[in-house]
Structure 1
Amino acid sequence: MNLIILTLLAVISTSCDEKEQYPDDTMTETLYRMPEESEMHEGTWLQWPHQYQYGTAYRNSLDATWVEMTKALVTSEKVHIVAYNEAEKNRITHLLSNSGIPINNVDFKLYKTDDVWVRDNGPIYVRDKSGKLVIEDWGFNGWGNKTDEDSGELIESANCNKIPAKIAADQGRTLIDLNSTMINEGGSVEVDGHGTLMACKSSILNSNRNLGMTQQQAEAIFKKYLGVTHFIWLDGQAGLDLTDQHIDGFARFGNASTIVTMEQEDLLDFDVKQSDINTLYAAKNKNGEAFHFVKVPLTQHNVKKTDGKDLGYKGSYINYYIANNKVLVPNYNDPNDAVANQIIQKLYPTRTVVGIDVRNLYANGGMIHCVTQQQPAD
């Protein structure tokens, strides 16, 4: 009899724990709010490419893109560069010096990283109820424990997953450890700063990230930790790419009333499902108001790397980054670079659009937004 009672108590306790971890959305209190990207920044975080994971050819092919980003950003805000070690810091400093880039607005942190995708593994800065800036450390497992296409080995992610905690410790900020709560890459979610979140289910509600998590549970977590109460969910496509289709490659909040995306034909070309296009175009904000859409074309031609290798697919301009007085837009040495830059410039008239050559980066699956992370102003 005692054994039966203890077993029942254990079941009840487990049930209570699950309810506490994944509360019903209607019962969840909002504790933090994530500022929208266009709000004032203290700085931008970059993880500089290195040779310790994929070799010197990989590193050298990407250096120029990081130099261009740094050059554009230093006149806008601080640039926080994560360098793998002291030798890499010296190498990067030399690169910046040779390009005539002043480093008075640059600082370095020496942290080991696995790769460059700071949007996905880096710190998520949010404000608590008093307005204080704190860092959230969401779990990162290499986009669902993916394997590298070339080597066939598991993509290493342990170093990158430690970056938010290291930054919080260095800055003396409160760290909200969400590693056991949710695996969530920064590129998976778009927030408008006014209570709406947009995401693809495929990169969040996926057994390779959050086994068994329901949409209701995910919404409760996002409500509590990002301050959102309204959700635009696209299905996405698991297995389509390394990320299982991050939203920030094809749809972004331009501002509180605007979604930046593409025409239907280009979205289909970018492997967005018709049903998701229909959902996106019908999206409304938390007040039930329809969004205004700004549509930017894909590149006219398939993207070619700087060495001439044809990647076999077109490039997206949606994955741009909003800095204080600049907007960094992916460029591909394509006729539509100028078209895209002009459209995005009209959306941000008080900022200057700077085209950044991302051809070699794009070969590895990402663009500007994927490799930048904002630190809001205190």
Structure 2
Amino acid sequence: MNKLFFIPLLFPLFTSCQEDTEATIPDQPINSEIMYTMPEESAPHEGTWLQWPHQYQYGIDYRNDLDGTWVAMTQSLIGSEKVHIVAYDVTEKERIISLLETAGVSLSNIEFKIYKTDDVWVRDNGPIYVRDKNNQLVIQDWGFNGWGKKAAFSNCNTIPTQIATDQKNTVIDLNSVMINEGGAIEIDGNGTLLATKSAILNSNRNPGMTQAQAEAIFKKNLGTTNFIWLVGKAGREITDMHIDGFARFGNTNTIVTMNESDLLYWEVPQTDINILYNSKDKNDKSYTFLKLPLSQNDVVTTYGKKLGYKGSYVNYYIGNTVVLVPNYNDSNDAVANKLIQSLYPTRKVIGIDVRNLYANGGMIHCVTQQQPR
């Protein structure tokens, strides 16, 4: 069975990526002294970034089908952190404000930025906040090329630098160093990075880059010294099998994933499953595992489209006081929500309907990006 999960329905319309972006790979591994460290997702946030859906790339139906998910995410987050909303233009900003006011969402903890975007996947193209040696937050701008030039990306690739300019923050330009989407990597906050080679060491992102070179770059810029590499599956979907669809660090000692049969359904190679289940942290200590189910049934959108595949709950997002979990109007929503709640007893799990988003590309983690406090 060939199951292609969360490939955008509009993928055939991607005709031009608008620019030729590739990382220039150094001949030798770069100086890998740790320069920056990335706080884990569960560390305190100043806020969360969202790129709001618009009509200018894929049409009004695309935008309208997704609005409800963005309203729900915003409403769930504003109680404990700022929500930074990227609107395509002033017209879109006014439309978004009307949507939020109609839903009774207060605007007091929302900041709007007007930047042109190609799409909504801020996890992959947005700013990566790290701390320098003086513990100051700076923004890293990694290269983004539309998941290997499969989609338009020229607007989204400029977002981190635009945010840094507006925030008067230091920007670390890594565009020529590595193409790296945020959803392609997971960190445990204690020096370990988990990723698939298919989404990073791929000729459509970083041609010629070796594992050693990638590790040196990550060590210097994210502060990771221990690496868990899965092979992944190039061409599995538009991301070439991002790690955050099926395996996440729930905290410094827990990996959130699925059971073996569900991972195989997800087309994770058996060798990768073995590596994942035997993962150890930088101190050679085995991780604890929380295994979530897939949705019980194949997902059907709110407008009645049968997607023909099940949904993952692993792609959730950790806020300051809430955890936003993808839900599918499925009997396993409650099961997954309860399991995730057990991992975060001080946070409230909120299920967010992602059925329409899932038809177009991903789930909650894919469309959120944290700004640490």
Q: Same fold (TM over 0.5)?
A: yes
Equivalent of residue 104 in structure 1, options 102, 105, 108: 108
Q: Distance in 1 between matches of 2:232 and 2:307?
A: 22
Equivalent of residue 220 in structure 1, options 191, 194, 216: 216
Give the 4+ runs in structure 1 shifted more than 2 A. none
* Equivalent position of 1:6 in the other structure: none
Structure 1 residue 210, shift from structure 2 partner: 0.2
Q: Distance in 2 between matches of 1:275 and 1:72?
A: 38
Give 1 or 2 for the bigger CA radius of gyration: 1
- Aligned alpha-carbon RMSD (Å): 0.7
Q: Distance in 2 between matches of 1:169 and 1:291?
A: 39
* Equivalent position of 1:7 in the other structure: none
Number of equivalent positions: 348
Deviation digits for residues 11-66 of structure 1 (CA, Å, limit 9, x no counterpart): xxxxxx733xx32xxx5200000000000000000000000000000000000000
* Equivalent position of 2:11 in the other structure: none
Equivalent of residue 254 in structure 1, options 250, 254, 268: 250
Structure 1 residue 308, shift from structure 2 partner: 1.5
Q: 1:75-154 counterparts in 2 under 5 A?
A: 75-146=79-150
Equivalent of residue 275 in structure 1, options 268, 271, 276: 271
Structure 1 residue 365, shift from structure 2 partner: 2.2
* Equivalent position of 1:243 in the other structure: 239
Deviation digits for residues 248-273 of structure 1 (CA, Å, limit 9, x no counterpart): 00000011000000000111111111
* Equivalent position of 2:332 in the other structure: 336
Structure 1 residue 364, shift from structure 2 partner: 1.2
* Equivalent position of 1:30 in the other structure: 34
Question: 2:149 is aligned with what amino acid?
Answer: N
Q: Distance in 2 between matches of 1:18 and 1:333?
A: 50
Q: Distance in 2 between matches of 1:237 and 1:162?
A: 28
* Equivalent position of 1:13 in the other structure: none
Deviation digits for residues 280-307 of structure 1 (CA, Å, limit 9, x no counterpart): 0000000000000000000000000001
3-state SS of paired residue (2:163): helix
* Equivalent position of 1:294 in the other structure: 290
Deviation digits for residues 198-228 of structure 1 (CA, Å, limit 9, x no counterpart): 0000000000000000000000000000000
Q: Distance in 2 between matches of 1:161 and 1:365?
A: 18
* Equivalent position of 2:60 in the other structure: 56
Q: Distance in 2 between matches of 1:263 and 1:76?
A: 33
| 1:69 maps onto 2:70 in alignment | no
| 1:43 maps onto 2:47 in alignment | yes
- Listed as ranges, the gaps of 5+ residues in structure 1 are 1-16, 147-154
3-state SS of paired residue (1:181): strand
Question: 2:170 is aligned with what amino acid?
Answer: T
Q: 1:175-254 counterparts in 2 under 5 A?
A: 175-254=171-250
Aligned identity (percent) is 68
Question: 2:61 is aligned with what amino acid?
Answer: A
Q: Distance in 2 between matches of 1:106 and 1:286?
A: 38
3-state SS of paired residue (1:158): coil
Structure 1 residue 156, shift from structure 2 partner: 1.0
The TM-score normalised by the length of structure 2 is 0.93
Q: Distance in 2 between matches of 1:374 and 1:363?
A: 24
Equivalent of residue 321 in structure 2, options 320, 325, 328: 325
| 1:18 maps onto 2:58 in alignment | no
Q: Distance in 1 between matches of 2:27 and 2:164?
A: 28
Question: 2:205 is aligned with what amino acid?
Answer: R
Question: 1:195 is aligned with what amino acid?
Answer: G
Q: Distance in 2 between matches of 1:69 and 1:97?
A: 14
3-state SS of paired residue (1:208): coil
3-state SS of paired residue (2:56): helix
The TM-score normalised by the length of structure 1 is 0.91
3-state SS of paired residue (2:57): helix
Q: Distance in 1 between matches of 2:163 and 2:33?
A: 27
- Listed as ranges, the gaps of 5+ residues in structure 2 are 1-25
| 1:361 maps onto 2:357 in alignment | yes
Structure 1 residue 127, shift from structure 2 partner: 0.1
Deviation digits for residues 324-366 of structure 1 (CA, Å, limit 9, x no counterpart): 0000000000000000000000000000000000000000120
Question: 2:128 is aligned with what amino acid?
Answer: I
Structure 1 residue 309, shift from structure 2 partner: 1.1
Report the structure, 1 or 2, having the larger helix content: 1
* Equivalent position of 2:16 in the other structure: none
Question: 1:37 is aligned with what amino acid?
Answer: E
Question: 1:267 is aligned with what amino acid?
Answer: L
Q: Distance in 1 between matches of 2:27 and 2:202?
A: 19
